Amino acid sequence: MESELKDMNSNPPTSKEERPLLKSESDVSAAIEELDKKFAPYARTDLYGTMGLGPFPAAEKAKLAVAMVTLVPVRFILAMTILLLYYLVCRVFTLFSSPYRGGEEEEEEEVVQEDYAHMGGWRRTVIVRCGRFLSRVLLFVFGFYWIPESCPDPETTSSEEGETDKEEPERPGVIVSNHVSYLDILYHMSASFPSFVAKRSVGKLPLVGLISKCLGCVYVQREAKSPDFKGVSGTVNERVREAHKNKSAPTIMLFPEGTTTNGDYLLTFKTGAFLAGTPVLPVILKYPYERFSAAWDTISGARHVLFLLCQFVNHLEVIRLPVYYPSQEEKDNPKLYASNVRKLMASEGNLILSDLGLGDKRIYHATLNGNLSQLRVFHQKEE
């Protein structure tokens, strides 16, 4: 995080003379178009425009108006009912159970890790099966009525060592996926119910907090507050190794890009998922669209959810690649391991490789917001 902020601060506009002087609405529109080209992995190209602000054709306005008084209320009530129902399932089946504590206690702080994912027996089975079923139901409510999945030929996608021919193949320590939307989490919950990495504050949220503990989310904090603090990478690395060795341990799900894209690109992978040198299961998510893109970039969460609920049908396609078994060279070099998996996913998913990162995304958003503010001023003057 600190390095990203340094990158952002290292290239500030040096003077007013170096900044483009935008004198008209056409200048602002041209500047936004240029930004979209420069930061292509984060640009929205759907009918709803930059930041989902339009302009909207008259036909689209009519569709939105009808959907807001019909689809949206029904879907919202159903979604909240499903969330509450699953919360009650988690609450009932974790009664009289002590959460697993996988971290050291710190002074005046809560336990670093606390979850119910290590709970065994029939209660854990009920929590997992209900979670997977209700997650799929929730996707159905959101308009994802069918989700086609494809699996490429293992012979063309496995690593060079050919470890897939073993009688007892190793269990993948982590699932890695491209990151397009918050909907990615719902799909993975419905498919395999893995653990995710989340901020510690998530565990304290109403309803969602208990559900995240049943998922076995790895709660992380950005700053060390004790000599024994392992950091994000250390904590995740331990969970990956545990999932690899112990079949009853929750599988962990990571988005190695570290942020979302518009779904057409694949950013540089961080090495956290590959440090342990265990096999990984690559999954590619694609959201085809005609009107509104499910990608969550340059648009507010509330606006995105509203437009998503207004669409009668939404689309999601999944490509599940075979388990990737690293060579010894890849185990010794996590960067090489991450790069090779990234190239494979880009090739199989027909995605464009990009070297941009979270720091570039923040610059894009900040600059875009500034230009759109000028555009609003022009419209106000015209009125």
The pLDDT of residue 146: 95
Q: Is residue 233 part of a domain?
A: yes
Compute the mean pLDDT over every residue in the chain, rounded to the nearest whole number.
82
Range of the domain at 359: 60-102+112-152+171-369
Q: Is residue 12 part of a domain?
A: no
Average pLDDT over residues 29-57: 86
The pLDDT of residue 35: 86
Given a contact cutoff of 8 angstroms between Cβ atoms, the answer to whether 310 and 64 are in contact is: yes
Beta bridge partners, 199, equal: 220
Given a contact cutoff of 8 angstroms between Cβ atoms, the answer to whether 148 and 286 are in contact is: no
Looking at the structure of the chain, the number of domains it has is 1
**pLDDT for 309 beyond 90:** yes
Given a contact cutoff of 8 angstroms between Cβ atoms, the answer to whether 346 and 278 are in contact is: no
Output the six-digit token pair for 168: 């007892």
The pLDDT of residue 151: 87
Q: Is residue 236 part of a domain?
A: yes
The pLDDT of residue 210: 92
Per cent of the chain over pLDDT 70 is 79
3-state helix, strand, coil in the chain (%, to 5): 50, 10, 40
**pLDDT for 65 beyond 90:** yes
Q: Is residue 314 part of a domain?
A: yes
**pLDDT for 72 beyond 50:** yes
* pTM recorded for the entire structure: 0.83
User: How many CB atoms are closer than 10 A to CB 28?
Assistant: 21
| CA–CA dist 173, 249 (Å, integer) | 10
Output the six-digit token pair for 319: 């490509």
The pLDDT of residue 319: 96
Q: What is the pLDDT of residues 145-195, one digit of tens each?
A: 999 999 887 665 555 444 444 455 778 989 999 999 999 999 999 999 999
The pLDDT of residue 239: 85
3-state secondary structure 89-102: HHHHHCCCCCCECC
Given a contact cutoff of 8 angstroms between Cβ atoms, the answer to whether 335 and 271 are in contact is: yes
Q: What is the pLDDT of residues 106-144, one digit of tens each?
A: 433 444 568 888 888 899 999 999 999 999 999 999 999
Q: Any idea how long the chain is? A: 383
Smallest Cα–Cα separation from 352: which of 286, 291, 298?
A: 286
Q: What is the pLDDT of residues 245-271, one digit of tens each?
A: 888 888 899 999 989 999 999 999 999
In this predicted structure, which of 14-23, 83-92, 320-329 has the lowest mean pLDDT?
Answer: 14-23
Average pLDDT over residues 330-343: 95
Residues in contact with 191: Cβ distance below 8 Å, sequence separation at least 6, in sequence order: 132, 318
**pLDDT for 10 beyond 50:** no
Residue 50 phi, psi (nearest 5): -60, 130
Given a contact cutoff of 8 angstroms between Cβ atoms, the answer to whether 368 and 51 are in contact is: yes
